[in-house]
């Protein structure tokens, strides 16, 4: 073994720290997603409270209302899909779905039989899968933010035009 290579114990520790960091990022990310989800819901609620009946709409109100609903609805879907649990993944003794699907004795036996290398591989697999999930979640949240921002002006116009029609 060369001087610069890590021992298996050091690799395990590094992988555990990395997995912990990734899971913390996902947790913080989910809190941001809930903010966007809440803003979308609040803006749609305010829109429904202030908008005039459909039969009174002008073409201008209709344009802004449909645009607002499309943008907020899309943002809502992206923010919801970014927080929706993604439970598909490789079989892993570290993953709750795998552990829940087998009996305790089978889980204990498999856990106790694993070598340091097996454990490291499982950790790295979980780091990789969680990185994939986090990447997908962050792309969806970016779309939700963008759509939310784009909806602000038509949302304000819809409410303004509804109040003075």
Q: How confident is the model at residue 2 (pLDDT cuts 50, 70, 90)?
A: low
Q: Model-level pTM?
A: 0.81
Please check the confidence at residue 1 and state whether its pLDDT lies above 80: no
**Contact indicator for 135, 118 with CB cutoff of 8 Å:** no
Residue 96's pLDDT is 86
CA geometry: angle 143, 146, 24, nearest 5 deg:
55
Other CB atoms within 10 A of residue 135 CB: 10
More confident residue, 33 or 69: 69
The model's pLDDT over 128-156, given as tens digits with 9 standing for 90+, comes to 999 999 999 999 999 999 999 999 999 99
Please check the confidence at residue 91 and state whether its pLDDT lies above 60: yes
């Amino acid at each position: 073994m060369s001087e610069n290579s890590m021992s298996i114990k050091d690799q395990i520790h590094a992988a555990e720290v990395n997995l912990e960091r990734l899971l913390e990022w996902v947790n913080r990310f989910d809190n941001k997603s809930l903010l966007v989800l809440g803003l979308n819901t609040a803006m749609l609620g305010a829109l429904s409270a202030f908008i005039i009946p459909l039969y009174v709409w002008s073409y201008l109100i209709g344009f802004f209302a449909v645009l607002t609903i499309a943008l907020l609805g899309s943002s809502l879907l992206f923010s919801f899909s970014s927080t929706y649990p993604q439970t598909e993944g490789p079989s892993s003794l570290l993953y709750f779905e795998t552990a829940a699907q087998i009996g305790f004795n089978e889980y204990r036996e498999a856990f106790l039989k694993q070598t340091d290398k097996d454990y490291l591989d499982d950790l790295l697999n979980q780091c990789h899968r969680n990185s994939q999930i986090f990447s997908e979640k962050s792309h969806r949240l970016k779309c939700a933010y963008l759509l939310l921002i784009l909806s602000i002006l038509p949302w304000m116009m819809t409410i303004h035009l509804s109040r003075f029609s």
